[in-house]
Structure 1
């Protein structure tokens, strides 16, 4: 049975200055996110050859953990503050395919 609640978010930033400021905002927000018990993975990537793009991969224990993340003061601050740096945003919610994830203690 699938478990977890995942999404990717692709942020396109206005320019190099906005990208630096956005990265600073992400760094400021990270400490709060690390303390969330239901947030399993919160990874930020820069695609090769796309310096103005950031891709987030987020994995939560379940939908309630995602909602708890969204309700945090640090998340609300990030969501409001990020807008000034963005040229675009694309969110994709993901369904897990059963049997493909490697869980701790699983053989494989």
Structure 2
């Protein structure tokens, strides 16, 4: 595998109700993301003591896999809908240097 391509995104939602609606949007979007072969990790976290914040960690096989993810209809729909629930978005793009990751499944 070529080096991974990753990003973190920190979303701050407007209030508790917006956080719930945002979470529902994410859950619907994940249905499609789980089928993307180049999306290796797509995980949403809630930081301790920050109930209105969501931090996404996304790992793709490479930049092309990320670009393919961005072109999916479910991703485009999330990008359209999410802003109504948010007060801020911070994105950090990451190039993989070194680390540990799950081994690819062995062929049966």
After TM superposition, the score normalised by the length of structure 2 is: 0.91
Shift in Å at residue 22 of structure 1? 0.1
Could you say what the CA RMSD is over the residues aligned between the two structures, in angstroms? 1.6
Question: 2:103 is matched with which residue?
Answer: 104
State the number of aligned residues.
104
Question: 1:61 is matched with which residue?
Answer: 61
Q: What is the DSSP-based 3-state SS (H/G/I as helix, E as strand, rest coil) of the residue aligned with 1:77?
A: helix
Whole-angstrom CA distance in 1 between matches of 2:15 and 2:35: 31
Whole-angstrom CA distance in 2 between matches of 1:94 and 1:2: 14
Matches within 5 A, 1:53-92: 53-92=53-92
Whole-angstrom CA distance in 2 between matches of 1:64 and 1:8: 17
- Residue pair 1:26, 1:78 contacting (<8 A) in 2 also: yes
Deviation beyond 6 Å, 4+ runs, structure 1: none
Shift in Å at residue 104 of structure 1? 1.7
Matches within 5 A, 1:1-80: 3-80=3-80
Unaligned 5+ runs, structure 2: none
- Residue pair 2:33, 2:39 contacting (<8 A) in 1 also: yes
Shift in Å at residue 12 of structure 1? 0.3
